[in-house]
Amino acid sequence: MSGSISIWEKLENIDSRILYLLIWIVVLTPMISPIGLPVSISPNTEAYYRTIQNLPPGSMVVLSFDFGLGSLGELYPIAVATMHHLFSRPIKFAIIAIWNQGPLVAKMIIDELNPEVTYGKKYGVDWIFLGWAPGGEVAMRALGQDFWKVFPTDYLYKRPVSEYPIMQNLRSANDVQLLISIETGTPGVDEWVRQWGTYNVPMLVACIGVTAPGVTPYVQSGQVKGMLPGLRAGAEYELLIGRKGLAVASADALSTTHMVFLIFVVIGNIGYFAKKRRGVK
């Protein structure tokens, strides 16, 4: 009995540096190699996934990067997963940005995914990168009326958009079957709904967690078909598309850290009661 109590006492007074090292291990391990621990899939995440998955072949999608570099931690994994999903489908899509840093983020993801090699997608035929449309809500309105006027040339090669086959089928919002906004605030879903609502274009929104309450009314009204609010939803989405990335890794790291804390809480309590019992005797 005394031997076992001695072990609990040692565990109860373990060097804090060992605890910190253990925490680093359980955090870094899933970040390097995501585990994919089970998480429940929310209806909003399911709807976001299904809306893209069920698009008819040849559908035209507009993916708008409405956030800057400051939100990379929460929205970059979602943006990567969304673009991967789009590249994996037999559809066509145009990448735009309403925020001026949006093209920088989009270019990072394009370089990471390497669509021509990874997915066999041809630039200018299956997808195109149009760049930043300055003007906020005014630009959204102008895009609804005429993409060619807002983007006379593309972002990557500065060629006239009229030279690209994909743009022959993208002149206005009437040619768009789905709009996806990855955003942090204004301009964002409010402005998109105001300017594109009359075109009846289905919309998806991925946003940082704190802005989710502002998007929810649009989801409830049916104007937004699905929403990914924050990194947890991003992890759910990555599991649905079968691509474990940064969002799943972050969720895994959080889960494993919680497990370690719970284990040491249990050890601490056992040690406490073991000492108390020995003191009573």
For range 13-41, the mean pLDDT: 70
**Per-residue pLDDT, 66:** 97
Is the pLDDT at 1 greater than 50, yes or no? no
Cβ atoms of 274 and 13 within 8 Å: the answer is no
Across all residues in the chain, what is the average pLDDT? 87
CB-neighbour burial class of residue 257 (10 A; exposed 0-12, middle 13-18, buried 19+)? middle
Q: In what order do the strands lie in the sheet containing 92-97?
A: 127-132, 92-97, 60-66, 178-183, 203-207, 226-229
Question: For residues 95 and 130, is the Cβ–Cβ distance under 8 A?
Answer: yes
The tokens 């300055």 sit on which residue?
134
What is the mean predicted confidence (pLDDT) over 4-29? 67
Average pLDDT of the segment spanning 216-232: 94
Range of weakest confidence among 151-155, 161-165, 175-179, 247-251: 247-251
Task: Reduce the DSSP state of residue 22 to 3 states and report it.
Answer: helix
Residues 50-79: what's their mean pLDDT? Answer: 95
From 230, 144, 133, 149, select the one nearest 194 (Cα to Cα). 144
Pick the closest to residue 60 from 14, 114, 121, 127 (CA basis): 127
Across residues 28-49, what is the average pLDDT? Answer: 79
- Could you tell me what percent of the chain has a pLDDT over 90? 66
Mean pLDDT along residues 259-268: 70
Would you state the pLDDT for residue 11?
Answer: 64
Return the axis-axis angle of helices 72-88 and 246-280, rounded to nearest 10°. 130
Residue 123: which of 163, 174, 175 has the closest Cα? 163
Three-class SS of residue 240? helix
Mean pLDDT for 210-225 is: 95
Query: What are 65's strand-pairing partners?
Result: 97, 182
Contacts of the segment 132-135: beta carbons below 8 A, 24+ positions apart: 132/96, 132/97, 132/98, 132/99, 132/100, 132/102, 132/103, 133/96, 133/97, 133/98, 134/100
Q: What is the pTM of this model?
A: 0.80
